[in-house]
């Protein structure tokens, strides 16, 4: 409770500072006040187009995240088992980690056009993060537990959940927490470059074209909230799974 | 059937087992007694098939094994109860596991993750896991290590009740444990 109050107080302090700064600059193009942003957000919420844009971008970014999570995990498991695959994919994963989002985006634009751009970009951002984290988890699996499960002849289902998943879930959680935030950032950045019709990225781009700073701040707030919400829901599901396994 | 024939095992220049032979009695508790570092745990590993001897043979059928390892080998992220159910499955209900834990002085810890338990608590959970599993041969490596005297007596009584009449091999350096539990003592 005390911690929550302190967080609320610090958020309020920053908002007050922002308000003072915006009032002293006194230019709605350079910096709008938080009150202007809240007002604009309230207007946007009542538009049907606002919700359609959210649905458009969220569906694609989360699809890219889900595909990346699955592919990254499978790649890590196979790499952990087969040394050749690990060596084969290591340079690719390193390159994927270092390539700027802008380069991915332009390449993806050439390959698949703008509509599903954020699916591919989110996917490409997610795969190396998940693969590297999960592979670290697989490398750190306790061989003594593997041996124990062999001696006791624990059936595969129970062994998978109790021995492997229980050790890998902390790695999966930190990987997905990191990846989901980056998927939102890079997915929306890709949409700003590719400008797919009806996306959040398009709305951000339009706010730049028409110098609508209040729109830019309002949409940025929406992106932050959506990213935070997706992370919270996903991590809560992972925690739920972990608790079920913990208590088998 | 469990028989060791002329088992030899060395680690570099250090010979830990030299021509060890013994036929372990079925439905009896055999204690392997010896000082620390004399190869007791290595012998247990060889009997279980975890380690291979340099020479000699272990003759064992396809019996189901249960084991208490020297270093517990609990899944740290699972609760005490889940660690036991990992081995027993749903054959033993959670309530019974809680009751068994209470019998060895571990009341109310069934839902505590293993990582939060003390060394002595972990030892008792690992012992319970071994005793409650379905097995034909039970191996126990220093089963009462790290327990204080009162707890040790409590756990030894519980253990004796559970293993009586079952093929059990346990290794220890403590002669009083052998005298209390074993039908037969083998000195290493």
Segment A154-202, tens digit of pLDDT: 999 999 999 999 999 999 999 999 999 999 999 999 999 999 999 999 9
- Does the distance separating the beta carbons of A248 and B75 come in below 8 Å? no
Dig out the tokens for A46 from the structure: 């009542």
User: What average pLDDT does the segment A46-53 reach?
Assistant: 95
Task: Give the span between the Cα atoms of B177 and A184, in whole angstroms.
Answer: 62
**Nearest residue of B to residue A145, measured between CA atoms:** B73
Ranking A90-99, A190-199, B39-48 by mean pLDDT, the lowest is A90-99
**B76 in a domain, yes or no?**
no
User: Cα separations (Å) of A151 from A155, B17, B135, B183?
Assistant: 11, 22, 11, 25
Task: Give the span between the Cα atoms of A57 and A63, in whole angstroms.
Answer: 10
Ranking A9-13, A97-101, B113-117, B156-160 by mean pLDDT, the lowest is A97-101
DSSP state, residue A185:
H
Task: Give the span between the Cα atoms of B88 and A152, in whole angstroms.
Answer: 9
Residue B3 contacts A where some CB pair is shorter than 8 Å: no
Tokens 């890998």 -> residue: A168
- Inter-chain CB pairs, A–B, below 8 Å: 62
Neighboring chain B residues of A159 at a CB cutoff of 8 Å: 86
The distance from CA B104 to its chain's CA centroid, rounded to whole angstroms, is 16
**B121 in a domain, yes or no?**
no
User: Cα separations (Å) of A64 from A59, A61, A184?
Assistant: 9, 5, 10
Residue A85 contacts B where some CB pair is shorter than 8 Å: no
- pLDDT, averaged across chain B: 93
Residue A165 contacts B where some CB pair is shorter than 8 Å: no
pLDDT at B130: 97
Q: B78 CA to chain A: closest CA distance, Å?
A: 4
Assign residue B4 the CATH number of its domain.
3.40.50.300
Which of A154, A170, A242 has the CB atom closest to B86's CB atom? A154
- Does the distance separating the beta carbons of B86 and A162 come in below 8 Å? yes
pLDDT at A20: 93
Exposed / middle / buried, residue A221 (Cβ in 10 Å: 0-12, 13-18, 19+): middle
Task: Give the span between the Cα atoms of A121 and B176, in whole angstroms.
Answer: 68
**Nearest residue of A to residue B139, measured between CA atoms:** A151
**B51 in a domain, yes or no?**
yes
**Nearest residue of A to residue B134, measured between CA atoms:** A152
Residue A208 contacts B where some CB pair is shorter than 8 Å: no
pLDDT at B54: 94
Which of A142, A144, A162 has the CB atom closest to B82's CB atom? A162
Task: Give the span between the Cα atoms of A244 and B136, in whole angstroms.
Answer: 31
DSSP state, residue B113:
B
- Does the distance separating the beta carbons of A152 and B66 come in below 8 Å? yes
pLDDT of A129 above 80:
yes
- The rounded percent of chain B whose pLDDT value lies above 90 is 88
- Does the distance separating the beta carbons of B77 and A242 come in below 8 Å? yes
Query: In b/e form, how buried is each residue of A164-192, taking b as 16+ CB within 10 angstroms?
Result: bebbbbebbbbbbbebbebbbbbbbbbbb
pLDDT at A247: 85
The more confidently predicted of residues B75 and B1 is: B75
Task: Give the span between the Cα atoms of A9 and A2, in whole angstroms.
Answer: 10
Residue A152 contacts B where some CB pair is shorter than 8 Å: yes
Signed CA dihedral, A105, A108, A110, A114: sign only: negative
Q: Which residue, A138, A168, A141, A163, is CA-closest to B85?
A: A163
- Does residue A203 contact residue A219 with C-beta atoms inside 8 Å? yes
pLDDT at B50: 92
- Does the distance separating the beta carbons of A166 and B73 come in below 8 Å? no
**Nearest residue of A to residue B78, measured between CA atoms:** A246
**Nearest residue of B to residue A248, measured between CA atoms:** B82
Task: Give the span between the Cα atoms of A102 and A121, in whole angstroms.
Answer: 9
Catalogue the E-assigned strands of A147-202.
none
pLDDT at B37: 81
> How high is the ipTM of this complex?
0.91
Q: Report the topology of domain A36-247.
A: MetI-like fold (1.10.3720)
CB atoms within 10 A of CB B145: 18
Q: Residue B18 in 3-state DSSP? A: strand
Q: Which residue, A105, A163, A94, A159, is CA-closest to A127?
A: A94
DSSP state, residue B69:
-
pLDDT of B126 above 90:
yes
Residue A163 contacts B where some CB pair is shorter than 8 Å: yes
pLDDT of B10 above 90:
yes
Gap between the terminal Cα atoms of chain B: 21
User: What average pLDDT does the segment A73-96 reach?
Assistant: 93
pLDDT of B64 above 90:
yes
Q: Which residue, A238, A122, A223, is CA-closest to A180?
A: A122
- pLDDT, averaged across chain A: 93
Helices (H), chain B: 40-48, 80-88, 94-103, 119-132, 149-163, 175-181
**B92 in a domain, yes or no?**
no
Task: Give the span between the Cα atoms of A125 and A100, in whole angstroms.
Answer: 10
Interface probe, candidates B82, B130, B135, B137, chain A, greatest A C-beta count within 10 A: B82
**Nearest residue of B to residue A161, measured between CA atoms:** B86
Q: For chain B, what is the domain count? A: 1
Residues of A numbered 229-248 whose beta carbons fall under 8 angstroms of chain B's beta carbons: which are they?
242, 245-248
- Does residue B171 contact residue B43 with C-beta atoms inside 8 Å? yes
**B82 in a domain, yes or no?**
no
Task: Give the span between the Cα atoms of A100 and A176, in whole angstroms.
Answer: 20
Q: Which domain holds residue B5?
A: 1-64+135-143+163-188
Name every residue whose Cβ is closer than 8 Å to that of residue A248 and which is 6 or more positions away in sequence: A158, A161, A162, B78, B79, B81, B82, B85, B86
Residue A91 contacts B where some CB pair is shorter than 8 Å: no
Dig out the tokens for A224 from the structure: 């932050």
Which of A147, A162, A247 has the CB atom closest to B75's CB atom? A162
Query: Given pLDDT bands bounded at 50, 70 and 90, which one contains residue A237?
Result: very high
Task: Give the span between the Cα atoms of B91 and B161, in whole angstroms.
Answer: 20
User: What average pLDDT does the segment A140-162 reach?
Assistant: 95
Residue B95 contacts A where some CB pair is shorter than 8 Å: no
Instruction: Dump pLDDT digits (tens) for B168-187.
Output: 999 999 999 999 999 999 99
pLDDT of B5 above 90:
yes
Q: Which helix (H) or strand (E) holds A225?
A: helix A213-247
pLDDT at A185: 95
């Amino acid at each position: 409770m005390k911690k929550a109050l302190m967080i609320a107080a610090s958020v309020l302090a920053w908002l007050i500072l922002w308000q003072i700064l915006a009032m002293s600059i006194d230019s709605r193009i350079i910096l709008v006040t938080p009150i202007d942003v809240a007002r604009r957000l309230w207007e946007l919420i009542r538009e049907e187009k606002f919700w359609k844009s959210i649905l458009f971008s969220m569906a694609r970014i989360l699809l890219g995240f889900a595909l990346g999570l699955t592919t990254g995990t499978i790649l890590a498991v196979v790499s952990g088992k087969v040394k050749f695959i690990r060596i084969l994919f290591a340079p690719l994963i390193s390159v994927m980690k270092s390539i700027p989002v802008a380069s991915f985006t332009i390449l993806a634009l050439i390959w698949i056009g703008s509509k599903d751009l954020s699916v591919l970009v989110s996917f490409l951002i997610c795969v190396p993060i998940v693969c590297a984290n999960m592979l670290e988890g697989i490398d750190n699996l306790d061989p003594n537990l593997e041996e124990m499960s062999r001696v006791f002849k624990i059936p595969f289902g129970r062994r998978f959940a109790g021995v492997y998943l229980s050790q890998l879930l902390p790695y999966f959680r930190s990987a997905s927490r990191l990846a989901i935030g980056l998927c939102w950032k890079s997915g929306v950045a890709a949409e700003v470059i590719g400008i797919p019709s009806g996306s959040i990225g398009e709305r951000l781009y339009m706010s730049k074209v028409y110098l609508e700073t209040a729109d830019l701040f309002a949409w940025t707030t929406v992106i932050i909230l959506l990213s935070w919400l997706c992370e919270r829901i996903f991590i809560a599901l992972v925690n739920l799974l972990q608790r079920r396994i913990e208590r088998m | 059937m469990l028989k060791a024939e002329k088992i030899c095992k060395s680690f570099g220049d250090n010979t830990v087992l030299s021509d060890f032979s013994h036929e372990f009695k079925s439905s009896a508790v055999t204690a392997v007694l010896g000082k620390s570092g004399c190869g007791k745990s290595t012998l247990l590993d060889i009997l279980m098939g975890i380690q291979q001897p340099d020479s000699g043979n272990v003759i064992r059928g396809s019996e189901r094994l249960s084991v208490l390892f020297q270093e517990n080998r609990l899944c740290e992220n699972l609760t005490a109860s889940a660690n036991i159910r990992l081995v027993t499955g749903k054959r033993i209900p959670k309530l019974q596991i809680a009751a068994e834990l209470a019998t060895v002085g571990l009341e109310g810890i069934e839902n505590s993750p293993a990582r939060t338990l003390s060394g002595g608590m972990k030892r008792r959970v690992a012992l319970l896991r071994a005793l409650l599993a379905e097995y034909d041969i039970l191996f126990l490596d220093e089963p009462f290590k790290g327990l204080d005297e009162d707890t040790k007596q409590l756990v030894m009584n519980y253990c004796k009740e559970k293993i009586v009449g079952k093929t059990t091999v346990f290794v220890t350096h403590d002669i009083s444990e052998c005298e209390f539990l074993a039908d037969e003592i083998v000195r290493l």
